[in-house]
Amino acid sequence: MFGYQGKIIHVDLSAGKIVVENPSEDFYRKYLGGSAMGLYYILREMPSKADPLGPENVLTLMAGVTTGLPISGQSRINVNAKSPISNGIGDSQAGGFFPAELKFAGYDGIVIKGRSAKPVYLLVTNDKLELRSAASLGGLKTGEAEDLLKAEVGDDNIEVFQHGPAAEKGVIYSSLLSMANRNAGRTGMGLVMASKNLRAIVVRGKEKPKVFDLKALGALSKEGPIRLPENGDMAGLAKYGTASVVSPQHSMGTLPTRNYSEGAFEFSDDLSGENLYDNYLRGAKAGNQDKEGRDTCFSCVVRCKRTVELEGKYQVDARYGGPEYETIGTFGSYCGIKDLAAVSRANQICNEYAVDTIACGATISFAMECYENGVIDQKVTGGIDLRFGNSDAMLQVLDEIVTASTPFGRLLGQGSERAAAAWGNGADEYLTTVKGAESPAHMPQAKKTLGLIYAVNPFGADHQSSEHDWMIEEGIASELYMQRLGELGLEETLEPLSLGKEKVKFAYLTELFYSMLDSAELCQFVWGPAWTLYGPSDTARLLSAATGWNVTVEELMKVGARRLNLMRLFNHREGLTRKDDKLPKKFYRALKGEGPTANVAMDKGQIDAAIDEYYRLAEWTEDGVPKPETLAALDLAWTAEI
Ligand code: SF4
């Protein structure tokens, strides 16, 4: 065994039993880990139409065959289960140190079924697999729970992956966190884990995975730091974090503003990565951000994570990290808020209580637009003047959501679609959701292929499932970018605002590569199809050096297709159809405000044609269902039995 540890933990919480499985080498090569591997177990072990919050739902946490190796961008974990938000597949990833530590403890993944009679946590070490009482953790914020677990286990170096108190209150977009700041945010995986009465998974290990060719891995690892300063996108990410894109998004008219009504925010400078770096990072006062304000994942040279520490009106504790671009978007420009301190405070509250910052911030901005347009009033908000730009109102509503302390907070804790259904009165006109998932901070009005991917993605609107349009534009696409895309079969620069067949091919092929990354569990900021530290052929080199298999880019694309087809099959089995591959009505209305995307709207006919072409490329039926021959070509004929 090289790369992987060869052991998967199976936990039956109803029976209190833990079993270890030793899958074959062929299994690891076929799925690589992460999402594809999780989907394999979910399709085999979860009965059709299971209640997402019932004991029959199967929750999987999977690392990959490179997780824990000494190279950048490999410490990731994927969480999958049936989503309580969409009743389709749930999928979410997180980085940090937990994924590598799980591998060091000797395991590649965990499959969790059933429901414990009492609250428990799972302890995983090299010599112990144990369910322990979590009675003392109830109601604790994530940082507090982590401290208590460290004291109880008697080891400050444990890694803890947990849901938080928001899940105990039933917030549907509850997440799972490690380090109290690395958030597997999307699709409600925290609520699924809470429904199983499992508060946390605690890992500690010493057994490093073996590497087939350490010399080749070392050579590849050395190339990353050399390339870092030479690659403008990566250098910006390293210095300013994901917030580095706030200003470019504003300039392109793709910074969602006032609940996706506009694409440019007049106060974008206040929310920028530069402002965050200069004035908010932990080391800002000492002028020493690099030492104190940037954080990383296991063995990663990029260090894209931010750490904010603030005193004054909006206090922020550094242990809860700092806001990513998406969080700055949803709690900032979506809500018309320019105060980065208030946004950082919102980020802390989301991490303390463990909720998805995208879903939560976007749900509040949706409520703000409903309030501004008279769909709801202060009788509904409980007296809160929920105007765009009102930071205190945003934080008040956030508190009511995560503590479920008012009827308004409890309803918004069910997400914007359920709130719109409860209010009626035209509230659905203001939704930004696909399959229940609020749209992230990248606007498909200008990034046309994202409109397609938001629509067809099995777990709803997602910005990390394919490459974004504008980078393939002539004059912007670099030689390196095009060379790497060439490795995927994409040769030409393309018109950014088109959505013709070539654009659909660009979306589909890059989606397959991203899909593979979420199975190999590689960070998309380091390993990607084009702009990242390493490209497709580098990724094949990594997998080959790690495992000893002769991995090709073609094989990697096949793994990506396997994952995508498994997710699609799951949704089909659960009753989702082509009707669910649709964008919110709001996206077909012209954007307001100033900037390059003012008056731009999406075209429904264009999206429908793109979906047809996408199904054709994926070799699915006209209704978007994988054909038996497509599944057979991917070695997935076994799925006929599900
Ligand atoms: S690029 Fe950022 S998110 Fe990715 S592994 Fe490195 S530090 Fe973690």
Q: What is the CATH number of the domain that holds 294?
A: 1.10.569.10
Claim to verify: residue 355 and residue 378 sit in the same structural domain: yes
d(CA 544, CA 546): 5
Residue 202 near residue 149 (C-beta atoms within 8 A): yes
Give the C-alpha separation, 497 to 448, whole Å. Answer: 6
Q: What is the pLDDT of residue 478?
A: 87
- Residue 268 belongs to some domain of the structure: yes
Q: Are residues 37 and 134 in the same domain?
A: yes
- Residue 444 in tokens: 């498909």
Amino acid occupying residue 66: T
> Which residue's alpha carbon is at the smallest distance from atom 5 of ligand 1?
73
Are both 182 and 303 inside the same structural domain?
A: no
CB 520 within 8 A of CB 545: no
Question: What's the CA-to-centroid distance between 283 and ligand 1, angstroms?
Answer: 20
* Measured CA distances, 481 to 467, 522, 541 (Å): 11, 19, 18
Q: What is the pLDDT of residue 289?
A: 59
Nearest residue CA, atom 2 of ligand 1? 304
DSSP 86: T
Strand 17-21 to 59-62 pairing: unpaired
pLDDT reported for residue 291: 62
- Shared domain for 423 and 558, answered yes or no, is no
Q: 151 by DSSP, 3-state: which?
A: helix
18 and 93 in a common domain: yes
Q: Which of 304, 326, 464, 527 gets mutated to test ligand 1 (max ligand atoms within 8 A of its CB)?
A: 304
Instruction: Give the H/E segment covering residue 416.
Output: helix 416-423
Asked if residue 398 is part of any domain, the answer here is yes
Q: Does the C-beta of 525 come closer than 6 Å to ligand 1?
A: yes
User: Which pLDDT score is estimated for 454?
Assistant: 98
CATH number reported for the structural domain that contains residue 571 in this entry: 1.10.599.10
For ligand 1, is residue 94 a contact (CB within 6 Å)? no
Do 288 and 353 fall into the same domain? yes
Whether 523 lines ligand 1, by a CB cut-off of 6 Å, is yes
CB 296 less than 6 A from any atom of ligand 1: yes
Ligand 1: nearest atom to the Cα of 300: 6
Final residue in a domain of this structure, among 391, 416, 438 = 438
Which residues on adjacent β-strands are paired with residue 626?
620
Domain count within the chain: 3
Q: Is 591 inside any structural domain?
A: no
Q: Which atom of ligand 1 is nearest to the CA of 303?
A: 7
| Distance in Å, CA 94 to ligand 1 centroid | 10
Is residue 221 situated within a structural domain? no
Residues in the chain: 642
Within a domain: residue 231? no
CA of 592 to the centre of ligand 1 (A): 35
The pTM assigned to this predicted structure is 0.97
- What's at 535, amino acid-wise? G
Q: Yes or no: say if 342 and 285 are a contact pair by the CB < 8 Å rule.
A: no
Distance CA 273, CA 446 (A): 22
* 237 belongs to a structural domain: no
Question: Is residue 346 in contact with ligand 1, taking CB distance under 6 Å?
Answer: no
* End position of a domain, from candidates 438, 468, 483: 438
Q: How far, in Å, from the CA of 125 to the mean position of ligand 1?
A: 25
- Is the distance from the beta carbon of residue 305 to the nearest atom of ligand 1 less than 6 Å? yes
Residues 313 and 379 in one domain: yes
- Verify that 408 and 486 share a domain, yes or no: no
Do 319 and 189 belong together in one domain?
A: no
Say which DSSP state 620 is in: B
State the 10-residue block means of pLDDT for the chain, 642 residues long.
97 98 98 98 98 98 98 98 98 98 98 98 98 98 98 98 98 98 97 98 98 98 90 88 96 97 98 94 70 86 93 95 97 98 98 98 98 98 98 98 98 98 98 98 96 98 94 84 94 90 96 98 94 95 98 98 98 98 98 95 97 98 97 97 87
Name the residue among 73, 100, 221, 65 with its Cα closest to residue 532: 73
* Full residue range of the structural domain in which residue 125 is found: 8-203
Residues 315 and 430 in one domain: yes
172 and 95 within one domain = yes
- Ligand 1: which atom is nearest the Cα of residue 96? 8
CA distance 367 to 449: 28
**Does residue 566 form part of some domain?**
yes
Q: Do 433 and 454 reside in the same domain of the chain?
A: no
Q: Encoding tokens for residue 65?
A: 């065959």
Q: Note whether residue 375 is domain-resident.
A: yes
| CATH at 124 | 3.60.9.10
Instruction: Quote the CA–CA distance of 203 and 207 in Å, as a whole number.
Output: 12
User: Does residue 261 sit in helix, strand or coil?
Assistant: coil
For atom 8 of ligand 1, the residue with the nearest CA is 297
| Distance in Å, CA 531 to ligand 1 centroid | 14
Q: Which of 203, 221, 237 is the last residue of a domain?
A: 203
How many Cβ atoms are within 10 Å of 151's Cβ, its own excluded? 10
